[in-house]
Structure 1
Amino acid sequence: MKDPVDCLCSCFQHYVTRQDISYVFRTKEKIDDLKNAMEQLRTKKEDVQIKLNDPQQNGKVLDNQHQVQDWLRDAGEKKDKVEWLLEEYGKGNCVAGSYSLNCYSRYKIGRNAFKLKDEITQLTAKQPEIKFIDIPPPKPVPESSKIVGKKIRSNIDIAHSYLADERVGIIGIWGMGGVGKTTLLKKIKHSLSGDANMGLLKKFNQLWSGNANMGFHHVLLIKASKGIQVGELRKQIAEKLNLKPSDDKEDILNVLKKSNFVLLLDNIWEEVDLVDLGIPHPYSDDNSTKKYKHKVIFTTRSEDVCAKMSAGKNTIKVECLEPDEAWDLFKDNVNLAVIDSDEKFKEIAWQVMEKCGGLPLALKVVGKAMSNKKSIQDWEFILNSIENSDTKVVQGMQESLLPILKFSYDNLPRNIQECFLCASILRWLPKDGLLACWMGLGLIGDFVNLQQAYGIARYIFKNLEESCLLYSSDDDYVSLHDVIYEMAVWIASDCGKKVNKWIGKEYDLATKIPSINGENWRFASRVSINGKVELLPILPHQCSDLLCLMIRFNSCFKNIPEGFFKQMTKLTYLDLEATHIKELPKDIKCLVNLQYLNISSTNISSLPKELVCFKKLQYLICKHLKGLGKVEKDLMSKLQKLKVIDIFPSGWVELEELNKLKKHNSIKAIGMCVVSEEVRQQLSCLPTAWLSLYNLDIISLSFDTLSCENHGYLQSLQIESCPQLKKIVMNGRKTHLNKLTIFNVEKLQNIIWKDLSPPEFFHVLKELSISKCNLDNLAWVLHLPCLSELRITDCAKIETLFYIEEEREIQQQEVSEHRPTFPALTNLYITNLPKLVSISNFALDFPRPALLRVRQCLNLKKLPFKSGINNNQHIYIDCENKWWESLEWDNASIPSHLLTYFIVDENPNECTTSGSK
């Protein structure tokens, strides 16, 4: 063994201090000091966590959220560093006083311990104050389609004149991004839908003989984008027509060829084959279509696309606003009271407005970003920032716009900036999916329970909406302006300096990603792949910066090559949802930094034992894995940092494992199947968010026993195959349930309501499915305020779905005047109800466009529609032709206002379409 003195001498070739020597000879003392400092920080962190987890603060947000989030993150990082240093010290210093560590190692460990102790002491002293505030009510989001300026009004005049001209079939609207093309298209749609608020267009409605929609049966606004697939456009059209989502153009064609329609196709980048979409071409020579009005209006950035789409001279060029009109729009979006308070404000505002070049998008976004600034200094800083960037919006030059729009991004708090970039790059996500993504990426920070996390996420989303950066589409998907998307991509690439930092790719056809594309991953931090990808690229190099990988909703993707994950050991976020992979490769254990894993809706049937390697895992999302069943013992309890565990609806753990999970203070939400009453009782003490009750031997069930009020809120409940269950008691408090499924509970006859009425109790329920039950009346669902989809199938004894007793009919009519039946319903499916003779014993309202699908209900002879039904209500009936022809009507005019879709009786999978109109 080498002489320790020689080791010492080798360290002191340069001048050393007494402190340097202490690092070598007093290493243990430095380590002990570090442990004491870390213990103090740990105590402080626990104090903070206790205050954060106070149940009384549910529904509130932190006043200093970013400060607390940063402090907790720093505390966690210090803990990791201490653990690593102690591990290094322990490797060669097992015996007190041992010299098995050489002098340089002792010096290095002692010095790092001393430095780390000082950092921890400083961090402990900066413990943030915990102060909660109520979530402020959302501000009204400004109307994005506001008509501003004579040019826009003139363009609406021109569009309507084209629509009224029988010789015009295709109209093109073109201009640079952000100039107002989509706004114009939306205004056209509103006018054709008979919008009561369209006072400016009233004169046009009068030209059309009082018919606000010019007799169009269908006004279809379809959103395209650069690189969008034809199949996705068909899917949007099918959904608007309440058809089954599919790529079959014939289904669409059969509906539209004998209808009056106008297709509003927004934001196309290249020629679109209308026939391939299933759209009867407006210039068709087919005499059978001459009697129908077929119109197509599209928007594009390119005049060349207008020519290719055969718009001819029937085009509208949308140009930037003149200064006076631009000033009006700008004032609408900034704080007008501030501008009017001082002439200096007005002077600065005018100069900023001029920099926006009359482009409506820039005027709105920059104006909103300035709206919360109230000092001359703030406004001067904004003006200097824009002037120093030496940019100005130039007509037709998109690049000139991005630096100006970036000001709105710079005005956001740091964590909301990341949320914005994530939402933009990963667009086309449903809103709830985006909120979950933010949580998984650590952008929400610490939260008490899932409900609070969603509250914070919605608050952030509302901020981005108010900044005119994001918005929710009608189907609750995240949307953003194309130019805003370009800005986000530009920002994510360090303003164009690192093109491949964030990679988002969409593939139209089944493909293998070539290895040359994999070369781009070398410096990427986030990669998102959509489309039909069969094979991933071979990565011959380390992707040392890659933190996030998303490959989602891809039925072609079935295998991950061995060795793939070895090249990305820093990965923290992995999402493989709705791919067709059957297993994860063994080398997934290399992902030791993984914090989020989503394998929902894949063909994986058991959780891999390699999961135990993920010591930092916080989110384990394994929804809808067929045949998952019991999870291997101790697999989850060993993952001590888990926040969210979701193995709903078929996965479950034994009672012993559940007791171990209860000791994890970190768990914020859990979803699983319950196969015993003992497990259900234990889950009621956990923050249960998704719950499946399967084959339980219970006679009655009280809702308030399913989740703990202090820990979280139940979001999805499935009750399946409980043979003795006769009664469900809805009691306790308002629920946050948005999906309820009751399946194969044949003895269930009663649902009893206590404390609250059904609309109050289920105030956010969106989906309700009841199958193989014998409930005799479902009248309680009629006024659920958010219910959009109702399925009732295979209920052998039910005769009337919605029955109100005679003595309550007068009262019910009075209530209906203030609250219509089915206020939000869009889909009602009833299948195989052999004794059903009546849907309801009174006329039903469908305030929204709705689809009624009826199958195998042969004794149902009447539909409960009011005699005053009209074409504008858009009620669609999907049924067997033979059954439709057997229906009886109290008013012969009702069928003419319904649009029907017939299936061939002999083959339920084969469809034909016919219109009663």
Structure 2
Amino acid sequence: MQMKPSVFVGENFNRNLKQMCKLLEDDQVFIIGVHGMAGVGKTALVTYIENDINRTWKSSFKHVFFITVSRDFSIFKLQNDVANRIGMTLDGDDERIRAKKLSLALEGKEKSVLILDDVWKNIDQEKVGIPLSVNGIKLILTSRLEHVCYKMDCLPDSIIRMEPLSDEEAWELFLLKLGNHATPAKLPDEVENIARSIAKECSGLPLGISVMARTMKGVTDDIHWWRHSLNKLQNFAMEEKIFDMLKLSYDNLTDKNMQNCFLSCALYHGIGRKELVFKLFDEGLINDTTSLERMLAEGLTIVDNLKDHSLLLEDDYLHMHGLVRNMGCQILNLNHRYMVKCNEGLTKVPAMLDWTTDLKKVSLMNNNIKEIPKGASPKCPNLSTLLFSGNPLCHIPGCFFSNMNALAVLDLSCNPFLTLLPKTVSNLKSLVSLLLGGCKLLEYVPPLGQLQELTRLDISGTSIKNVPQGLEMLTNLKWLDLSKNYKLTLLPGSVLPGLTNMQYLDIRYNYGSAKVNAEDVRGMTLLEHFAGSFHDCDSFNNYVLATLDRGCGPKTYNLHLGIGPGYRLDFSCDYNFPANDDCRIVSFGDCTKLDHVLPSDIARLCIAENKQWRCLCDVLSFRSSSSLMHINIQVCPKLECLFCLKSPCSLCSNLRNLESLNLKNLEGLAFIWKDFPPGGMFSDIKYLVVSKCHKIEKLLTNGPLLQLKSLVTLDVKCCYLLREIFTTEDVGRVKEITLPRLTRLEFRDLPLLETVWPGTLVCGLSPKLNIIDCPKLTCPILQSHS
């Protein structure tokens, strides 16, 4: 097959073409999906395939039929379109009879490819009369909606996902379309820079690039035309053909609330999934707010729907394609109620003339605005949302908020140079959400007692020393984040007991006096997630026994006790919101007392920088059976052994669910298990990581080893006295060890290591062995388990 005609560019196109050819040649693939946003080149790809089948695939396929479906689809209309395309006439109104006739006619066209372009909803092939897996008939469909491909029985490997072009590929296509007869245009130097900017504004979308190039044909040397076109694009104005094509995806969101969610997303340049859900919650766009868990479920469903419609893209963050965002902003600006100027490099706030009285929402996120002029007081009585995060803002004049009485959402987060908020914030009685997280130098927040509508308050990562005055009066508050305020003092019994409607409370990572007693949170019966440090061991035990173990506490939690962090070991869980059951965490720093009761439903135990404990069983216990799955221990110099392995021991006897053990920098630890208890106590361990435990000479003895049947990963590094991974006791009797699930072994920086196992180590399928800086090690004999 000819690989690339001159009007198509890009490695993506070549890759998609190769994948299409492979799928067409596969006798087991009957339906091929092509998915991507509007204008990304889906129709171009299948049109090329149609032409190429007619040109060079006659030996494989005798016929190819191309039908455009579009949004006004109906079974009856599609039957007529297919019939007309294959050269037959369908009579009558009975769709079932028509389907049988059409199916027979298509079966007679053996070795055929039927292309359905621009499909917007699931099409029942049987009702239409499209036979599959008969006489070599294949179906190719294109759709902006990924779920349509799945509902029409496309397998994941049979869906071609089309992506925008890179900047260079976009420029190449722009020049081709600007030129004539597949010859790239040549531009004067002074025009080329502007033309490149126009191509870049199209964000790699072939439709936008092609339309803009055709628009600029004939004005090659007129630089003012180029500047005018660039200015229009940068101000969210685009050619009607592009706008109309993109807006179809918006119009297809038949639910009005979903459309409003899309328009709200246009206010942001790049945002995490859960943070976007919180923003939609702040905007009142999530209906189910009875609990945080249900709110998150609805919000993430909205996000997935927008992605499915190709209106949101996701890499590390959620974002909109540049032209889709322009389309959204253009819809917003039809009502002249929105000002969206995020990530535009602004150094000043927009002129006061732009702050009109009908403004509803303003986004100035992620710019370079350092100050708001003295005396600036926009008259915006209808303004409900002001997003000012991600700026180097140093000062806000007191009068700035004076005429914003309807303000419901105020986001000033991530302004690292802001030291105080003006007192006029105290008068914003309509505020529902006040976000100040990441304002590192912020020392003063004015009294908040009048903000009775406030439901979400984030004052994390600041330099405040005291909680804002009147915080205890905010009885409607559901979400409070006071974490990472290292100077904060929070006296037990002072603020928290009155906040009885709390659903989310985070007071983590406060090394000073921001600690709680059990009584502070006992009255929060609606609390779904709690993260914080306890004042002392008695208060910690009291909360565990009287609240968590009685089933009266939050579903997820992150509890800390002791001096120092205790939590920094584990980054595999998203602590910002309880997304899963793994977020039931207890962490310990340096603790002097020896009697700590662990919650029975704990999932993760983290211990760091404890200078007192010698054995975990001496200091930790359960009152009932436990669900503990993960243990992480780091920098505990006196820890000599992990578990006593004696009976009765409430800790050892409740470790049957343990899946991972991560040990780092334990200089007093001589062995992990000296003896191993019967009964498969640790038989569920999948991941064992040991690092910088320099006293260990032999990692595992035969007894423990033979019980580790679930082990998947063994990672050992920087243990300078380690000589053997598995001990050679009774090696004459045991020449082969079977660990049927072990697929990854890594040994790094182990200068004295000589042996993993002298016999054969039977592992899982295709085990991966990685050995780095182990000069004395003889490579072990590994064998895949049959």
TM-score by length of structure 1 reads 0.47
Instruction: Report matched runs for 1:242-253 at 5 Å.
Output: none
Alignment check: 8 A CA contact 1:570 1:593 kept: yes
CA apart distance, 1:596: 0.9
Alignment check: 8 A CA contact 1:698 1:725 kept: no
Compared CA separation, residues 345 and 553, structure 1 to 2 (3 A): farther
Alignment check: 8 A CA contact 2:420 2:443 kept: no
Aligned to 2:95: 343
Aligned to 1:124: none
Is 2:668 aligned against 1:797?
yes
Aligned with residue 890 of structure 1, among 756, 776, 782: 756
Compared CA separation, residues 610 and 805, structure 1 to 2 (3 A): same
Is 2:147 aligned against 1:362?
no
Aligned with residue 318 of structure 2, among 475, 478, 483: 478
CA apart distance, 1:455: 3.4
Compared CA separation, residues 496 and 757, structure 1 to 2 (3 A): same
Aligned to 1:672: 507
SS of alignment partner, residue 368 of structure 2: strand
Compared CA separation, residues 738 and 611, structure 1 to 2 (3 A): farther
Compared CA separation, residues 326 and 782, structure 1 to 2 (3 A): farther
Q: Which has the higher helix share?
A: 1
Deviation by residue 1:733-765 (Cα, 9 ceiling, x = unmatched): 4x6x7896765473372344565553xx56xx8
Aligned with residue 412 of structure 1, among 231, 243, 255: 255
Is 2:695 aligned against 1:835?
yes
Q: For 2:402 and 2:743, locate their aligned partners in 1 and report how far apart those are by CA, in whole Å.
A: 57
Aligned to 2:436: 599
Alignment check: 8 A CA contact 1:451 1:712 kept: no
Alignment check: 8 A CA contact 2:377 2:399 kept: no
SS of alignment partner, residue 295 of structure 2: helix
Instruction: Report matched runs for 1:143-292 at 5 Å.
Output: 172-173=10-11
Compared CA separation, residues 515 and 562, structure 1 to 2 (3 A): same
CA apart distance, 1:466: 5.5
SS of alignment partner, residue 600 of structure 1: coil
Aligned to 2:594: 726
Q: For 1:329 and 1:768, locate their aligned partners in 2 and report how far apart those are by CA, in whole Å.
A: 56
Deviation by residue 1:341-391 (Cα, 9 ceiling, x = unmatched): 9739999xx9996698999343657889999xxxxxxxxxxxxxxxxxxxx
Is 2:353 aligned against 1:533?
no
Deviation by residue 1:810-859 (Cα, 9 ceiling, x = unmatched): x866x57xxxx24xx9xx7x7764535567665898979x9x7967x544
Is 2:385 aligned against 1:514?
no
Instruction: Report matched runs for 1:90-169 at 5 Å.
Output: none
Q: For 1:804 and 1:319, locate their aligned partners in 2 and report how far apart those are by CA, in whole Å.
A: 69
Equivalent residue letter for 2:518: R
Q: For 2:604 and 2:290, locate their aligned partners in 1 and report how far apart those are by CA, in whole Å.
A: 20
Aligned to 2:642: 776
Equivalent residue letter for 1:586: P
After alignment, is 646-655 or 679-688 more displaced?
646-655
Q: For 2:144 and 2:599, locate their aligned partners in 1 and report how far apart those are by CA, in whole Å.
A: 51
Compared CA separation, residues 572 and 584, structure 1 to 2 (3 A): farther
Aligned to 2:580: none
Compared CA separation, residues 807 and 783, structure 1 to 2 (3 A): closer
Aligned with residue 746 of structure 1, among 612, 620, 636: 612
Aligned with residue 474 of structure 2, among 634, 639, 642: 639
Is 2:286 aligned against 1:444?
yes
SS of alignment partner, residue 533 of structure 1: coil
SS of alignment partner, residue 422 of structure 1: helix
CA apart distance, 1:405: 1.2
SS of alignment partner, residue 438 of structure 1: helix
Compared CA separation, residues 516 and 772, structure 1 to 2 (3 A): same
CA apart distance, 1:542: 2.9
Compared CA separation, residues 886 and 548, structure 1 to 2 (3 A): farther
Unaligned runs of 5+ in 2: 28-35, 52-63, 80-92, 100-113, 122-139, 154-206, 212-240, 564-589, 644-650, 727-735, 775-786
SS of alignment partner, residue 716 of structure 1: strand
Aligned to 2:204: none
Compared CA separation, residues 610 and 659, structure 1 to 2 (3 A): closer
Instruction: Report matched runs for 1:259-408 at 5 Å.
Output: 343=95, 360-362=142-144, 364=146, 398-408=242-252
Larger RCO: 1 or 2 (CA < 8 Å, sep 6+): 1
Compared CA separation, residues 586 and 428, structure 1 to 2 (3 A): closer
Compared CA separation, residues 399 and 534, structure 1 to 2 (3 A): closer
Deviation by residue 1:539-572 (Cα, 9 ceiling, x = unmatched): 5643444432334456x55444554434644332
Q: For 1:422 and 1:436, locate their aligned partners in 2 and report how far apart those are by CA, in whole Å.
A: 12
Aligned with residue 532 of structure 2, among 692, 696, 702: 692
Alignment check: 8 A CA contact 1:689 1:714 kept: yes
CA apart distance, 1:401: 1.7
Compared CA separation, residues 620 and 885, structure 1 to 2 (3 A): same
Q: For 2:387 and 2:427, locate their aligned partners in 1 and report how far apart those are by CA, in whole Å.
A: 17
Deviation by residue 1:641-688 (Cα, 9 ceiling, x = unmatched): 3222221365564444347515x5x43332336969982234133126
Instruction: Report matched runs for 1:1-16 at 5 Å.
Output: none
CA apart distance, 1:620: 1.1
Equivalent residue letter for 1:434: L
SS of alignment partner, residue 437 of structure 1: helix
Q: For 1:448 and 1:771, locate their aligned partners in 2 and report how far apart those are by CA, in whole Å.
A: 42
Q: For 2:367 and 2:673, locate their aligned partners in 1 and report how far apart those are by CA, in whole Å.
A: 44
Equivalent residue letter for 2:250: K
Q: For 2:773 and 2:252, locate their aligned partners in 1 and report how far apart those are by CA, in whole Å.
A: 48
Q: For 1:433 and 1:536, locate their aligned partners in 2 and report how far apart those are by CA, in whole Å.
A: 26
RMSD across aligned positions (CA): 6.0
Alignment check: 8 A CA contact 1:501 1:525 kept: yes
CA apart distance, 1:803: 8.3
Instruction: Report matched runs for 1:611-650 at 5 Å.
Output: 611-625=448-462, 628=464, 630-631=466-467, 635-648=470-483
SS of alignment partner, residue 274 of structure 2: helix
Aligned to 1:657: 494
Deviation by residue 1:35-72 (Cα, 9 ceiling, x = unmatched): xxxxxxxxxxxxxxxxxxxxxxxxxxxxxxxxxxxxxx
Compared CA separation, residues 890 and 404, structure 1 to 2 (3 A): same
CA apart distance, 1:441: 2.6
Q: For 2:369 and 2:716, locate their aligned partners in 1 and report how far apart those are by CA, in whole Å.
A: 36
Compared CA separation, residues 342 and 454, structure 1 to 2 (3 A): farther
Compared CA separation, residues 706 and 583, structure 1 to 2 (3 A): farther
Q: For 1:874 and 1:532, locate their aligned partners in 2 and report how far apart those are by CA, in whole Å.
A: 45
Compared CA separation, residues 610 and 837, structure 1 to 2 (3 A): farther
CA apart distance, 1:448: 3.8
Is 2:559 aligned against 1:717?
yes
CA apart distance, 1:442: 2.7
CA apart distance, 1:576: 3.1
Aligned to 1:252: none
Equivalent residue letter for 1:797: G
Instruction: Report matched runs for 1:547-626 at 5 Å.
Output: 547-552=384-389, 556-560=392-396, 563-566=399-402, 568-587=404-423, 588-604=425-441, 606=443, 608-625=445-462
SS of alignment partner, residue 420 of structure 2: coil
Is 2:331 aligned against 1:494?
yes
CA apart distance, 1:709: 4.4
Compared CA separation, residues 709 and 461, structure 1 to 2 (3 A): farther
Q: For 2:381 and 2:151, locate their aligned partners in 1 and report how far apart those are by CA, in whole Å.
A: 36
Q: For 1:689 and 1:406, locate their aligned partners in 2 and report how far apart those are by CA, in whole Å.
A: 35
Equivalent residue letter for 1:749: L
SS of alignment partner, residue 448 of structure 2: helix
Compared CA separation, residues 569 and 900, structure 1 to 2 (3 A): farther
Q: For 1:753 and 1:429, locate their aligned partners in 2 and report how far apart those are by CA, in whole Å.
A: 41
CA apart distance, 1:638: 2.3
Equivalent residue letter for 1:406: Y
